[in-house]
Amino acid sequence: MAPAATLAAPRAEAPVLAPRKAQAPYPIVIVGHVDHGKSTLIGRLLHDTDSLPEGRLAELQKVSSQRGLELEWSFLLDALQIERDQGITLDTTRIWFKTAKRPYVIIDAPGHREFLRNMVTGASGADAAVLVTDAERGVSEQTRRHAYLLSLLGVTKVIVAVNKMDLMGHAEAAWQAVKDEVSAYLAKLGMQPLYVIPLSARHGDNITARSQQMGWYQGPTLLEALDLLTPPAGRADATFRMPIQDVYRRGDRRMAVGRIETGRIRLGDKVEIAPTGQPATVASIDTGRGDGEQFARAGQSAAISFIEDAALARGQIIAPAGHMPHLALALRVRAFWLDSEPLLVGSRLTLRLTTAEHAVVVEKFERIVDVENLNDADTQELGQGGIAEIVLRSAAPIAFDPHTDLPITGRAGLARGTRIVGGAVVLGAAENAASVKGPVTAVDSSVDRDAFEARNGHRGGVLWLSGLSGAGKSTLAMGAQRRLFDDGWRVLVLDGDNLRKGLNKDLGFSPAERLENVRRVAEVAKLMAENGSVVLVSLISPTAELRELARSIVGDGFHEVWVKADVNTCAKRDPKGLYAAARDGKIAQFTGVSAPFEAPASPDLVLDTGEFDVATTTELLIAHIRRNLALDQADGHAVGI
Burial class (CB in 10 A: 0-12, 13-18, 19+), 329: buried
Amino acid of residue 76: L
DSSP type of residue 113: G
Mention every residue, 6+ apart, whose C-beta is less than 8 A from residue 433. 328, 329, 330, 331, 391, 393
Please give the Cα distance from 480 to 292 (Å, whole number): 49
Q: Check if the beta carbon of residue 316 is closer than 8 Å to that of residue 552.
A: no
Q: Check if the beta carbon of residue 129 is closer than 8 Å to that of residue 143.
A: no
DSSP type of residue 200: B
Helix-helix angle 614-629:473-486, to 10 degrees: 60
Residue 541 designated active-site: yes
φ, ψ dihedrals at 76, nearest 5° = -60, -35
Please give the Cα distance from 154 to 170 (Å, whole number): 33
DSSP type of residue 298: T
Plot region of 562 (φ>0 → left; ψ -120 to 50 → alpha; else → beta):
beta
For residue 389, the SS3 value is strand
Please give the Cα distance from 75 to 525 (Å, whole number): 60
Mention every residue, 6+ apart, whose C-beta is less than 8 A from residue 624. 463, 559, 561, 604, 605
Please give the Cα distance from 323 to 408 (Å, whole number): 16
Please give the Cα distance from 460 to 557 (Å, whole number): 7
Q: Check if the beta carbon of residue 314 is closer than 8 Å to that of residue 553.
A: no
Helix (H) or strand (E) holding 489: none
Strands 356-370 and 411-416: unpaired
Please give the Cα distance from 336 to 215 (Å, whole number): 41
Nearest CA among 437, 479, 484 for reference residue 460: 484
Continuous H helices in 418-505: 449-456, 473-486, 496-499
Continuous H helices in 30-189: 38-48, 56-66, 81-86, 116-123, 141-152, 172-188
Question: Which listed residue (51, 200, 541, 552) is catalytic?
Answer: 541
Biggest distance spanned by C-alpha atoms of the chain:
94
Burial class (CB in 10 A: 0-12, 13-18, 19+), 569: middle
Three-state DSSP string of 318-387: EEECCCCCEEEEEEEEEEEECCCCCECCCCEEEEEECCEEEEEEEEEEEEEEECCCCEECCCCCECCCCE
Nearest CA among 411, 406, 103 for reference residue 229: 103
Q: Check if the beta carbon of residue 536 is closer than 8 Å to that of residue 624.
A: no
Active-site residues, by number, are 541
